[in-house]
Amino acid sequence: MNEAITYITGGESHGPAMTTIIRGLPAGFTLNVEQLNYQLWRRQQGYGRGGRMKIEKDRVAVLSGLRNSMTLGSPLTLMVQNNDFRNWQKKMDPVEADVSEKVRVPRPGHADYPGIVKYGFDDIRNVLERASARETVARILPGAVCRQFLEALNIRLYSHVVQLGDIRVPRIGIEEETLRLADASDLRCIDKVVGEEMRKEIETAQKEGDSVGGVFQVLVYGLPVGLGSYVHWDDKLSSRIAAEIMGIQAVKGIAFGIGFDGACLRGSQYHDAFDVSDKRVRRRSNHAGGLEGGMSNGEPLVFDAVMKPIPTLMKPLESFDIGTLEPVDAHKERTDSCALPAASVVAENVIARPILNALIARFGGDRWEDLKQGIAEHD
């Protein structure tokens, strides 16, 4: 696997800041920093979040890699401060913190238990601070950077919530225009009536001290044919997108196109027949979600991903004390009851990087102008 653009994130949820260093961006691209803030803002809008979202107003600081808004080809360092650090500094200061009060009861479904076993910790806080989905602030940023390159090439990314608990948006053909409605809904639901049912479901779960998960869908329009690879398994666009999506906290699965529903179809029903008219190659359906042989095939790229319900519960499940091994109820912390809309915005952004990497692999990527020209010549 040889990826041009890579990144690393750093940051604990209640530490000083979330940071990202992005390596390998093409030079000479004018980055719109306010658009990065816009994607951070979108991530914070979903219904079902806990008290933390009232504390944080995420804004990015650029520390390297840009000059007069132009990418230099050098590492782009981005930082978002955690406002909540001021309330946690006593416990979370990187140099001198009071670590006497320990979290000792793991939450089923969280990274707590395997995390303390892995590193030999006796305080679950050392795990939960980094396992927290606050990290998606730092993960959305490389995506939000790469999507600006894609948008300059007229490649458009969308996401919406298609299922929350057992409440589903009817699966009918969706037009690109309709997908824009998701941004007007704090549930990211394009159907108002279904959205209100979703809201009630979150409220009921909240009242019961419980949480809910669901399914979001991501769609990408305007990809050229042949991005990715059929030659190497780890260069498949599908592999790279799946890795990116499975890296989002609480995501348990991804399915391209009609996904698992394809299991009950025959080949003659599943595969997307060609439809060539006016010298344009199209398909009669898009069951494959725009990917064949690990490459884009010219149809919109479509996938669903499932997010499990958040594991921190106000009415906790059975657990145990890691010191005494005595059974006790799981640890409780302030929590969200549903983070599905946020996860959908994160997913929509993070996949921009594997797509841009696939474009660079095909058309070159030291200079933005060369990449743009390479793609234009291909068209």
| Contacts to ligand EPS from residues 3-42, by CB under 6 A | 13
Total interface residues for ligand EPS by CB under 6 A: 15
Minimum gap (Å) between residue 299 Cβ and ligand EPS: 33
The upper half-sphere exposure of residue 141, i.e. CA atoms within 13 Å in the direction of its Cβ, equals 28
* By CB under 6 A, residue 292 contacts ligand EPS: no
Which position among 10, 50, 165, 316 is part of the footprint of ligand EPS (CB under 6 A)? 50
Do the beta carbons of residue 157 and residue 300 sit within 8 Å? Answer: no
* By CB under 6 A, residue 335 contacts ligand EPS: yes
Looking at residue 184, what DSSP letter applies?
G
Q: Name the segment binding ligand EPS (CB under 6 A); options: 94-102, 178-186, 192-200, 328-336.
A: 328-336
Q: Which residues contact 312 (CB under 8 A, 6 or more apart)?
A: 107, 110, 211, 331, 332, 333, 335
* By CB under 6 A, residue 52 contacts ligand EPS: yes
Do the beta carbons of residue 195 and residue 167 sit within 8 Å? Answer: no
Q: Give residue 372's identity as a one-letter amino acid code.
A: K
Nearer to ligand EPS (CB atom), residue 312 or residue 357: 312
Minimum gap (Å) between residue 327 Cβ and ligand EPS: 23
Minimum gap (Å) between residue 119 Cβ and ligand EPS: 18
* By CB under 6 A, residue 56 contacts ligand EPS: yes
**Residue 171 vs residues 77, 99, 217, 248, 261: alpha-carbon distances, Å:** 41, 50, 11, 25, 12
**Residue 234 vs residues 81, 213, 237, 354: alpha-carbon distances, Å:** 35, 29, 8, 11
* By CB under 6 A, residue 115 contacts ligand EPS: no
* By CB under 6 A, residue 348 contacts ligand EPS: no
Nearer to ligand EPS (CB atom), residue 85 or residue 320: 85
Which residue has 């929350």 as its token pair?
Answer: 164
Binding site for ligand EPS (CB under 6 A): 13, 50, 52, 56, 84, 132-134, 136-137, 312, 333-336
